[in-house]
Amino acid sequence: MRAVLVVLPIAVVLASCSTGTGQSDDAGAAPGSSADSTPSGSKAADDPIPPVRNPKNLTAIPPCLLVTPSQLDANRIDQPGQPKDALGSEGCEWTDKAHTREFAVFVDIGNDVLRNVYSQRDSIPILEVTQVAGQPAIRTKDDANSTSCYFRVAAADTQTLIVRYTWLGQGREDPCVPAKAFAETVIGNLPPLTG
């Protein structure tokens, strides 16, 4: 049952990205979170999402092969990836035998996910425009105590990597630290976008 509950917010997020409407369960804006970003010179002055300067090809590698076995070991993941699909977006989910850590990635092609999510900032409890491995990104959580954290990273203009990390173990862990590290690993493994 827990796996279904964790995947459902991803489906809602992807649906809102595709249509540009709707709200996500992990959505929300922290006061002043958008003020930390620098507007792009080629965008409107109030647009906090910078352009992608080093496009990567997110379609070149199947989602479950986006990280190597040694990279999974480094993230304390000891189970093979399981292909996932959320509203037509391919993805993969990894966990450990103890079921204390869970990473998921989804690939959204053809949508401007960052701007779609940012347009919903008033309904997202925690939202920060940031960067991951030099790429524009948005980090979200459904509340300060959430055990899940999402990073949406623009690999290219209409290629977005969505990473979710959920801590399922005892005690407390900031889920955004491993989520960001995992997203950086994936982006680092992508080839440049050519053509």
Percent of the chain with pLDDT over 70: 76
Confidence of residue 45 (pLDDT cuts 50, 70, 90): low
User: What is the structure's pLDDT at 78?
Assistant: 95
Q: How many angstroms from the chain centroid is the CA of residue 102?
A: 13
Question: 76-112 pLDDT, tens per residue?
Answer: 999 999 999 877 789 999 999 999 999 999 999 999 9
User: What is the structure's pLDDT at 61?
Assistant: 93
Domain locations along the chain:
2-189
Q: Dig out the tokens for 47 from the structure.
A: 């647009």
Average pLDDT, the chain: 81
147-159 mean pLDDT: 96
Q: Are 48 and 166 in contact (CB under 8 A)?
A: no
Measured distance CA(16)–CA(86) in Å, rounded: 12
Q: For residues 98-121, b (16+ Cβ closer than 10 Å) or e, as one string?
A: eeebbbbbbbbeebbbbbbbbebb
User: Does the pLDDT value for residue 40 go beyond 70?
Assistant: no
User: What is the structure's pLDDT at 114?
Assistant: 96
Q: For residues 9-35, b (16+ Cβ closer than 10 Å) or e, as one string?
A: bbbbbbbbbbeeeeebbbbbbbeebbe
183-189 mean pLDDT: 97
131-138 mean pLDDT: 97
The alpha carbon torsion through 46, 49, 53, 54 (nearest 10 deg) reads 180
4-11 mean pLDDT: 38
Torsional sign, CA 39, 41, 45, 50 = negative
User: What is the structure's pLDDT at 55?
Assistant: 97
